[in-house]
Amino acid sequence: MFRRTSFMVAAAGVAALIVTMSLPGGVASAATATFAPVADTYVDNSTTGTNYGTSGQLGVDNSPVKRMFLRFTVAGVSGPVSSVRLRVHTDDVSGSESDSGGVFKRMSSTTWSETGTTWNNQPSIDGATLATLGSVARNGWYEVDVTSYVTGNGTYSIGVTSASSNGADYDSRESGAGTAPQLVVTTGGGASPSPSPSASPPPGGDPVLVGAGDIANSGSGDSTTAALLDSIPGTVFTLGDNVYDNGTASEFNTHYNPTWGRHKARTRPVPGNHDYNTSGATGYYGYFGASAGDPAKGYYSYNLGSNWHVIVLNSNCSAVGGCGTGSAQVTWLRADLAAGTRPCTVAMWHHPRYTSGANHSPDSSVAPFVQALYDANADLILTGHNHQYERFAPINPANQLDNARGLRHFVVGSGGASHYGFGTILANSEARNSDTYGVLKLTLHANAYTWQFVPQAGRTYADSGTTNCH
C-alpha cells in the first residue's frame, strides 16, 4: 500500500509545504518541502545609496554592475537531505530575448537587511560557486542544484553575480507566490528509480497510471503536481497542453523539464492544441522523442500489466488528417481495438467529448473516437483541455447513462495551469472541482480499476471509487 500525508510547517517566519510518502518494501520515507525566501534584494553600482528590497525584480548584470541576494530559512524538516534545488523565475520585461543567468555562490552572511542593503553596505559574496546559469529566456523557471550547500535546518544566503553586460532580471518574493524564488528540499529516502512505461508492476501489485493535462507554464502549479508524482509509482500520462503558451522547445525546457520532466523516463504523453501552436508540434515531439509516437500521427497504444490496453489518440484533428469516421486515425483505432486481447481498455486524448467547463464546450469532433471505443466495449476515457476536474458516470456515446456498457469519462485538466470555472452542468456529471491542482491515479486491477483524485498538498478535495471492466 502507498500512502501520502501532507501537512504545513511554519517556523522562523517562513511557511513550507511538506509532502511525505511511504514506499513499499521497507524503503525509507521521503519528504519534499518548498520554502519561500525570507529576504531578497539586489544592489546597483550606478545608484550606490539606493535600496531595492521592496522591488518586484532582482537584477543581475555587469554594466552597470548588479548583484542579487537571497536568504532562506529551512525549518521543520527531518532526516538526511538528499537534494536541494533553487528555483528562480525570469522577468526581463525590458530585456532581450536571451540573457545571462549569472553565477550562484554561497554567502557567509545571513543577517543582511532586505530593506537596508545598498551598494555601499552590501554583504560579501564570499563563498564557493554553486552553479552557473547560461542563457535564459524571459518569463521562465530555471533550476540550480544547491545540495552541496543546504544540508539541513538553518539559514542560508545565496548571492548571484554576472560577468555579462546583458544580465537577467528575476522575480522577487514581492512579485507573489506564483513567481517568487523557491528552495525545494527533499529529505529521507531520496528519489527512487523511475520505472519505464513498460516495466512490470511490483510483485503482487497492480499497475498504476497517474497524471493530468494542462500542465506547465510560468506559474508554480506544475511544481505542486510534480511533487505528487514524486510519491506515486507507475506510468505517468499527460493529457495535452503540456506547456504554455506555444509548445516551443524553450517552454518545454524552462517550464516542463524542471517539474514534470523529472518523470520523463516513465511518461507516455498526449498532445494538446497549445503543443501544436508550434508548427508540427516539433517542441512536443522533440522533447518526448519515441515516447510520443510517430510525429506525423501522435496516436499510439501500449499494454500495462497482464490485463490492460492503453490507447493514446490525437484530437488535434486538422494536424493529423482528421478525426472523422473514415479518417486514418479512426481506422487505426478500430483495428487496434479489434486486435486487442486484453479485457480492459483505457483511452486518452486532449479535447473532451463531454465537459461542463465554461471555457471549452463539449467537442463533437471526437465523437467517432467515443463510438469506436463503445462498440469495442472499452472502459474509460481521460481528457483535459478545461482546467478543472470532472468525472462522469458510465455513459453511451450520446451521454445517456449506461451501467452495462458505458464508458466513464474524466476531464483532468488540473495539472498546473490556471483554473477554469464551470458553466452548465451536463447530465451524468458526478464529481467536479475547479480550484484544486491535482493528478488522477488509476490502479489497474485484473478486471476493474480504482480511481483517486490526488489533490495538491494542503487541499482537501477528494474523489475516488472502483468500477469493473466490461
Per-residue pLDDT of the chain (470 residues; tens, 9 = 90+): 333 333 333 333 344 444 433 333 333 344 678 899 999 999 999 999 999 999 999 999 998 999 999 999 999 888 788 888 898 988 855 444 457 889 999 999 999 999 999 999 999 999 999 888 877 777 777 888 888 899 889 999 999 999 888 888 999 999 887 789 999 888 754 333 333 333 333 444 799 999 999 999 998 999 999 999 998 999 999 999 999 999 999 999 999 999 999 999 999 999 999 999 999 999 999 999 999 999 999 999 999 989 999 999 999 999 999 999 999 999 999 999 999 899 999 999 999 999 999 999 999 999 999 999 999 999 999 999 999 999 999 999 999 999 999 999 999 999 999 999 999 999 999 999 999 999 999 999 999 999 999 999 999 999 999 999 99
Residue 12: per-residue pLDDT: 33
Residue 98: per-residue pLDDT: 55
Torsions phi, psi for 369 (to 5 deg):
-60, -50
The radius of gyration computed from the CA coordinates of the chain, to the nearest angstrom, equals 24
Supply angle C-alpha 88, 185, 177, rounded to 5: 40
CA–CA distance, 129 with 256 (Å, rounded to integer): 26
Residue 215: per-residue pLDDT: 98
Q: Domain spans of the chain?
A: 3-188, 208-468
Predicted structure pTM score: 0.62
Cell of 353: 467529448
Residue 217: per-residue pLDDT: 94
> Residue 193: is the preceding peptide bond cis (ω within 30°)?
no
Closest by CA to 57, choosing from 202, 168, 223, 177, is 168
Contact 453, 464 (CB under 8 A): yes
Residue 92: per-residue pLDDT: 54
Residue 133: per-residue pLDDT: 82
Q: What's 76-101 look like in SS3?
A: CCCCCEEEEEEEEEECCCCCCCEEEE
Closest by CA to 407, choosing from 382, 436, 427, is 382
Q: Is 412 helix (H, G, I), strand (E, B) or coil?
A: strand
Under CATH, to which class is 208-468 assigned?
Answer: alpha beta
Cell of 463: 474523489
Q: Is 366 helix (H, G, I), strand (E, B) or coil?
A: helix
Beta-strand runs (E) in 65-175:
65-74, 81-89, 98-107, 129-137, 141-145, 154-161, 169-171
Residue 282: per-residue pLDDT: 97
Residue with the three cell numbers 488528417:
321
Helix %, strand %, coil % of the chain (to 5): 15, 35, 45
